[in-house]
Amino acid sequence: MAECCISCNSAQFAALPEGGEPIKVGHHSERRHRRALDRAHTTARAAIEADDAARSAAESARIAARSTDHRYTPAVIHRRIERQSAELRSIERHLTKYRAAGHTAETSNHIHQLELNKAELERDIEYWTAVRAEQDATDGPKLYSRADLRPGCFVNCSGTWHKVIRVNAKSVTVATAYSWTDRLPYDKITDARAEDAHTPIRPGQ
């Protein structure tokens, strides 16, 4: 689109008198000269606007692609499922409480809304759980787990390497520069190395 406008723009300017000749006021060519200038300026503005629109669309597409990729990384999906599962458990507790209190108009409204929220969360959890299962079953991105790591290896979290002291169900216990240890959840681990600190450990291998 922008190339078309630029070509048209060149044609419009080519129709103008050479050398930037000024408008001859009162001359029979004045009206034609003014129309040619107006067309050239209008076409130039259109070309600029089309170019700006193309740049904006490309940037929006780039941002959208990056956002979508981020949403589908194993760590982000795992944290989303954990958060939604906690919300679902909270809703189920509230439903139990309201149902035990009896059905007044107020509790009935609360129960109805909670049931809608519960159904939506269950659908989301089912979807994201299936996405994670497909990632694990194929060559898609993987998340580190207890099966991948062992005491003595090294893990990277937020750009910092840590030596693993103990492997737990949902995290690893790592050494610190102080007298205490720290825990890192598996979904925070972005890289791992064997005990020699050089050999890569790949998740799911």
Query: What is the percentage of the chain residues whose pLDDT exceeds 90?
Result: 44
Q: Specify the higher pLDDT residue, 123 or 204.
A: 123
Q: Residue 4's pLDDT is what?
A: 44
Using pLDDT thresholds of 50, 70 and 90, give the confidence band for residue 27: low
pLDDT at 6 over 50: no
Residue 171 has pLDDT above 60, yes or no: yes
Residues in the chain, how many?
205
Question: What pLDDT score does 49 carry?
Answer: 74
Name which of 151, 152, 158 is nearest 189 in CA terms: 158
Q: 128 CB contacts (<8 Å, ≥6 apart)? A: 77, 80, 81, 84
pTM of the model: 0.54
| pLDDT of 129 above 90 | yes
Question: pLDDT exceeding 70 applies to what percent of the chain?
Answer: 76
